[in-house]
């Protein structure tokens, strides 16, 4: 796909990730820019009139004076799911805690029940409109986890749904195997047996070979898995060619972040209760900290100390954690704006966190999440003069156009 994007009010030149610490704020912009796309990749960009010849047979796309950024990357979601949990939403408003609801059979287990009953086709049907709305909100790459099946067949069914969704819509999807989400009721007396079955070498090798999953993940938390069990999951994943991710320190300081650093995890996600020691360990390991403030917004709880992580020099990433229990939020733009308000990230830092660093959290930083020659032309045109002016509008979808590999896949009016 060859194209020429003209009349760009401001081009935000987010560098490929990871972008760490103070550099997250140091993003150049070009006013009155133009950008050339050849074979679906960024070929050149700069002030209008300073570029060489446009690629042959190229379509001209008018940005109408809007802001141009990389396509957003939602690097932590549970988008494939079944059932709804609005009853819990109301119960929490009336005073019940997330832990209380889970103890009464709600929580993740309620979604597991619904996912086990749903066919793969039904999971696809339910996720497709969600992905369309995410795309319309500027997301061009998203990660989707399993973790609501908790049997070999049901976990595979979830990842096969992700694979099918790849063929049905333009958002690039990365599958993550999260069989170690909670301990299924039928295995409560044999936790290790469950992990050995679900993270057996032949299971993981097959997921990788059939491209159903690029990463393995574990929920390290009291009530789910211990740091030692998380290490077992990490070793199995790494031995079989899957990258390792971990849900760590969401509800308590349970030690998952240290396992992330020790095992060289690609990312450690949540971090609400992370301590100084774990922050240093993350830095030494080059693990991307992914903060998920949607949970704080949805559950009215304390968010991760993102400001501290950035000030300590880390490449913080942001994601929605879209899931029915603790963050039923599809809008990454809303999460970015909220991160500004609640985590005291600047709008530019929030943009870098949801593009370059989110891409690094998926090991795709060489292809997506930045503006550089040779990067995939995944781009968003926004109805705003600057990043600050965009993200100070909480909850408004400012997206006007979305390009995936140089092709216009969303065109919307107010």
For tokens 């899957």, the residue is 242
CB closer to Zn ion out of 272 and 321: 321
74 vs 321, beta carbon nearer Zn ion: 321
Nearer to Zn ion, 38 or 268 (CB): 268
Site for Zn ion in 309-348 (CB under 5 A): 321
Minimum distance between the CB of residue 376 and Zn ion, rounded to whole angstroms? Answer: 26
Residue of 366, 370, 414 whose CA lies nearest to 393? 414
Angstrom distance (rounded) from CA 399 to CA 333:
9
Site for Zn ion in 238-267 (CB under 5 A): none
CA 133 to chain centre: 15
Q: Give the residue nearest to Zn ion (CB).
A: 321
Specify the residue, 160 or 321, whose C-beta has the smaller distance to Zn ion: 321
What secondary structure, in 3-state letters, does 192-243 show? HHHHHHHCCHHHHHHHHHCCCCCEEEEEECCCCECHHHHHHHHHHHHHCCCE
Closest-CA residue to 281 (of 306, 268, 262) = 262
Q: Where in 375-394 is the site for Zn ion (CB under 5 A)?
A: none
Q: How far is the CB of 367 from Zn ion (least distance, A)?
A: 24
DSSP code, position 292? -
Q: Which is nearer to Zn ion, 249 or 321 (CB)?
A: 321
What gap in Å lies between CA 218 and CA 68, rounded to an integer?
A: 36
Prior bond of 18 cis (ω within 30°): yes
Q: Which is nearer to Zn ion, 69 or 77 (CB)?
A: 77
Site string for Zn ion, 152-191 (x = CB under 5 A): ----------------------------------------
Per-residue binding letters, 118-147, with Zn ion (x by CB under 5 A): ------------------------------
142 φ/ψ sector (left φ>0, alpha ψ -120 to 50, else beta): beta
Site residues for Zn ion, 265-304, by CB under 5 A, read none
DSSP-derived letter for residue 409 is E
Task: Tell me the closest approach of the beta carbon of residue 295 to Zn ion, in angstroms.
Answer: 9
Please count the residues of this chain forming the interface with Zn ion, following the rule CB under 5 A. 1
DSSP 380: E
Tokens of 320: 């929605």
Residue 87 beta carbon to Zn ion: minimum distance, rounded to whole angstroms:
21
Q: What's the token pair of residue 294?
A: 């949607």
Compute the least distance from the CB of residue 78 to Zn ion, in Å: 6
Least gap, CB of 219 to Zn ion (angstroms): 7
In whole angstroms, the minimum distance from the beta carbon of 321 to Zn ion comes to: 5
Give me the residue label for tokens 């774990």. Answer: 278
3-state secondary structure of 299: helix
Phi, psi of 223 (to 5 degrees): 95, -20
Q: Which is nearer to Zn ion, 4 or 92 (CB)?
A: 92
Tell me how far, at minimum, the Cβ of 79 lies from Zn ion, in Å.
11
Residue 156 CA to residue 290 CA, distance in Å, equals 25
> Which of 77/283 has CB closer to Zn ion?
77
Contact in structure between 376 and 367 (CB atoms under 8 Å): yes
What's the min distance (Å) between Cβ of 185 and Zn ion?
A: 20
Identify the residue whose tokens are 């409109």: 129
Cβ proximity to Zn ion: between 233 and 371 the closer is 233
Subset of residues 34 to 93 that bind Zn ion, contact rule: CB under 5 A: none
* Interaction site with Zn ion (CB under 5 A): 321
């Amino acid at each position: 796909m060859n194209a020429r994007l003209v009349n760009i009010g401001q081009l935000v030149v987010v560098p490929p990730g990871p972008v760490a610490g103070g550099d997250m704020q140091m993003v150049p912009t070009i006013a009155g820019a133009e950008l050339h796309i050849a074979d679906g990749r960024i070929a050149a960009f700069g002030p209008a009139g300073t570029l060489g010849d446009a690629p042959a047979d190229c379509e001209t796309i008018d940005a109408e004076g809007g802001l141009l950024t990389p396509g957003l990357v939602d690097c932590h979601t549970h988008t494939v799911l079944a059932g709804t949990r609005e009853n819990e939403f109301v119960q929490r408003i009336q005073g019940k805690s997330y832990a209380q609801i889970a103890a009464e059979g709600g929580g993740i287990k309620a979604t597991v029940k619904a996912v086990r009953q749903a066919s793969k086709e039904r999971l696809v049907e339910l996720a497709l409109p969600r992905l369309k709305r995410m795309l319309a909100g500027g997301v061009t790459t998203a990660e989707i986890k399993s973790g609501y099946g908790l049997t070999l067949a049901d976990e595979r069914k979830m990842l096969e749904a992700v694979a099918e969704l790849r063929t049905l819509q333009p958002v690039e999807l990365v599958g993550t195997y999260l069989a170690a989400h909670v301990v299924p009721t039928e295995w409560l007396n044999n936790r290790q047996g469950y992990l050995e079955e679900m993270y057996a070498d032949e299971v993981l090798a097959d997921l990788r070979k059939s491209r159903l999953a690029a990463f393995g993940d574990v929920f390290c938390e009291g009530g789910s898995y211990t740091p030692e069990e998380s290490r077992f999951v990490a070793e199995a994943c790494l031995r079989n060619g899957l990258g390792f991710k971990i849900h760590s320190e969401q509800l308590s300081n349970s030690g998952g972040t240290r396992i992330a650093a020790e095992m060289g995890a690609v990312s450690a996600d949540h971090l609400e209760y992370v301590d100084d020691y774990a922050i240093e360990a993350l830095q030494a390991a080059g693990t991307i900290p992914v903060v998920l403030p949607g949970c704080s917004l949805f559950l009215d709880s304390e968010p991760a100390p993102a400001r501290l992580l950035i000030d300590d020099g880390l490449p913080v990433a942001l994601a929605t954690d879209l899931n029915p229990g603790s963050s039923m939020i599809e809008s990454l733009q809303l999460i970015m704006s909220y991160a500004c308000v609640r985590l005291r990230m600047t709008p530019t830092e929030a943009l870098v966190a949801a593009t370059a660093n989110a891409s690094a959290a998926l090991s795709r930083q060489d292809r997506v999440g930045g503006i550089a020659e040779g990067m995939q032309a995944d781009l968003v045109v926004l109805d705003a003069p600057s990043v600050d002016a965009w993200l100070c509008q909480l909850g408004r979808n400012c997206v006007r156009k979305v390009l995936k590999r140089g092709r216009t896949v969303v065109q919307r009016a107010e």
